[in-house]
Amino acid sequence: MIEIGKILRSARLVAVLATALAISACANQAADNAGGAGGAGSASTPGSQQDFVVNVGDRVFFETDQTELTALGRATLDKQAQWLTNYSQYSFTIEGHADERGTREYNIALGARRAQSTRDYLISRGIQAARIKTISYGKERPVAVCNDISCWSQNRRAVTVLNAGS
């Protein structure tokens, strides 16, 4: 299980290098979100959902049991805010998540706090509150399934999901 996890992460790293993005953690996730179907992000149309996921980065990460944004997280959200200002037709949902090292109900509340920190930051960067919904999934929807620290860190996240219909 753990071995497989390592191999997958290596594969993602290759994708990151291929897209030559600067911020490794975000890019890592961007590549992950692009589905690993090959050629991640190389052909995304500006203003498309894929553009947002691949070239901006749709998620920020948190320290264990923390809900404060990291410097890296704020940098990602600055880019998100700029993109969302440019493409103001999108409304979106911020999904807050926790890793599995917490109890279920606390993690639901913790994920809600992470979504809220992310929302508040985007609002402080000029995004209208009316465009934003938040939801918490607690530890119910991990993206990385394994049992080590680097893996858990990918699950402590807030993901900005553009509403498809908007």
Partner 1 sequence: MISNKLVFNRRRLLVGAGAGALAGTLPILMPRKAGAALRVEITQGNPQPMPIALPEFVAGSPAETEIARNVTAIITSNLQRSGLFAPINPAAFTEKITNSDAVPRFPDWRVINAQALVTGRMTRQADGRLKAEFRLWDVFAGQQLDGKQYFTTPDNARRIAHIISDAIYQTLTGEKGYFDSRIVFVDETGPKERRIKRLAIMDQDGAGTRYLTRGDDLVLTPRFNPSTQEITYMSYGQADPRVYLLNIETGQREIVGNFPGMTFAPRFSSDGQRVIMSLQQGPNSNLFVMDLRSKQTTRLTDTPAIDTGPCYSPDGRYICFESDRGGSQQIYVMAATGGPAQRISFGEGNHSTPVWSPRGDFIAFTGQSRGQFSIGVLKPDGSGERLLTSGFHNEGPTFAPNGRVLMFFREQGAGPSLYTIDITGRNELKVPTPALASDPAWSPLLS
Q: Which residues bind partner 1 (CB under 8 A)?
A: 1, 67, 100-106, 108-110, 112-113, 116-117, 135-137, 140-143, 145, 147
Cα 49 to chain centroid distance, Å, stands at: 13
**CB nearer to partner 1: pick between 42 and 66:** 66
For the CB of residue 65, give the shortest distance to partner 1 in the complex, in Å.
Answer: 8
**CB nearer to partner 1: pick between 41 and 138:** 138
**CB nearer to partner 1: pick between 82 and 101:** 101
Cα 120 to chain centroid distance, Å, stands at: 16
Cβ contact 50:44 at 8 Å: yes
Q: Which of 128, 130, 43, 25 is nearest to 81 (CA)?
A: 128
Amino acid identity of 105? Answer: E
For the CB of residue 86, give the shortest distance to partner 1 in the complex, in Å.
Answer: 28
**CB nearer to partner 1: pick between 76 and 118:** 118
Residue with tokens 């699950």: 155
The dihedrals phi and psi of 78, each to the nearest 5 degrees, come to -60, -45
The two structure tokens encoding residue 153: 């860190």
**Bridge partners for 95 per DSSP:** 135, 159
How many other C-beta atoms can be found within 10 angstroms of the C-beta atom of residue 8? 16
Cβ contact 70:93 at 8 Å: no
**CB nearer to partner 1: pick between 113 and 156:** 113
